[in-house]
Amino acid sequence: MTDHKQAKYNNPFIATITGIGDLFRHHEAVGTLHETDRLDGKTVLVDGASSGLGYAIATDCARRGARIIMACRSGIHGRGEAVKKTSGNPDVHMLPVDFSYVESIKQLAISISEQFAPIDIYICNAGIVPRKSRKTRQGLEEMFMVNYLSKFLFVNLLLKENCFRSSSSHTSDPAPLNKSIPRIIFVSSESHRNPGKIEWDKFGIYEPYSIGKSMELYGYYKLFLTAFSLELSQRLNPDGLTRFSVFTLCPGPINSNIGREAPKIFHPLMKLIFGIFFKSPAKAAVPVIYLAASKDLEGKPFDYLFLMSRKEIAELSADPLNRERLWELSWQLSNKLGVLF
């Protein structure tokens, strides 16, 4: 799966050192996020929004005037109220979801369609790094489901339910010129560059693993996510007319709770290193908000940012044959799970 020359994120220690090094390298910014980049009148859906990066994104988008939908597994009762108080925006709403469970994903799409559609911006942020493999109720590996397949399922369900403000991907017409084009933003990772190959014969098949392989698989599923994002953009914008903007980014190392499942003996050291070297969620949210709010990107069908710098995605993710095969296998697995688009 992995080329050793690429293996910068295959265990927590190497991933931490790599992340720290990335922060100190020079990166040429593609633009600047301004206070005048507002989201008034827009509806923004953020998942994984109860803590860390997702919470910071929801707070900043609310402060910029958007109606916010926070989709998350935990923190339902208090986090939305905290965003309202911090941002000064009362138009904040919360919906429960468990991205490891197909029926919960379906229900979230229905709730969005019935209560909040049309949405203008979807920020796909939810993710996990488990210390070992776990089976979902459908028999899939949990990190595969949460970090990749749930994204495929949920985005296609949103499209099926016409949840976006301009779901003109189902017609021959582009979005009206006087309307902003919907944006779909995926939080990926530079670790998507690690895998040296894709093991297609093992796609969706549960295999047990321990914490020693969790970081490697994290990057592997981010490869899937990044490939999916580009394929989605090309399928939604097939003839050169941009109907949807699909953006992907790595926000860099974040002082968040994504490593909460690491062995407890390492927690004090992680807390120290994260606190000193890693970005706060609010600072890490800047490139996400830039992709959501900046007029610089209006009409752009696809982009990938690392921090605030534009980069090409990894070759395995960009390869058209890989992207098409990933889509078809994901579609077939979706049908097996009872999700028909």
> What structural domains and CATH numbers belong to the chain?
12-336 (3.40.50.720)
Q: Look-up: residue for tokens 């992340």? A: 19
Computed over every residue of the chain, the mean pLDDT equals 87
Cβ–Cβ < 8 Å for 251, 187: yes
Rg (CA), the chain: 19
Predicted pLDDT of residue 1: 54
116 Cα distance to chain centroid: 20
- Going through the chain in order, the beta strands assigned E by DSSP cover 43-47, 67-72, 92-96, 121-124, 183-187, 245-250, 302-306, 309-310
Distance CA 115, CA 274 (A): 38
Predicted pLDDT of residue 19: 52
Distance CA 284, CA 322 (A): 30
Mean pLDDT by groups of 10 residues along the chain of 341 residues: 50 52 71 96 97 96 98 84 97 97 97 97 96 95 98 98 73 51 97 95 96 91 98 95 97 70 54 63 96 96 96 97 98 95 80
Q: Summarize pLDDT for 165-181 with one digit per residue, the tens.
A: 974 444 445 544 446 89
Q: Find, among 195, 181, 69, the residue nearest to 124 by Cα.
A: 69
Cβ–Cβ < 8 Å for 81, 56: no
Predicted pLDDT of residue 176: 46
Q: Summarize pLDDT for 54-104 with one digit per residue, the tens.
A: 999 999 999 999 999 999 987 677 899 999 999 999 999 999 999 999 999
Q: Find, among 213, 217, 257, the residue nearest to 55 by Cα.
A: 257
Distance CA 97, CA 76 (A): 10
Structure tokens at 90: 């009362």
Predicted pLDDT of residue 10: 54
Question: Burial, 221: exposed, middle or buried (Cβ in 10 Å; 0-12, 13-18, 19+)?
Answer: buried
Q: Find, among 43, 48, 80, the residue nearest to 65 by Cα.
A: 43
Structure tokens at 327: 């889509």
**Burial 144-169, CB ≥16 within 10 A → b, else e:** bbbbbbbbbbbbbbbbeeebbbbbbb
**pTM (two decimals):** 0.87
Looking at residue 44, its amino acid is: V
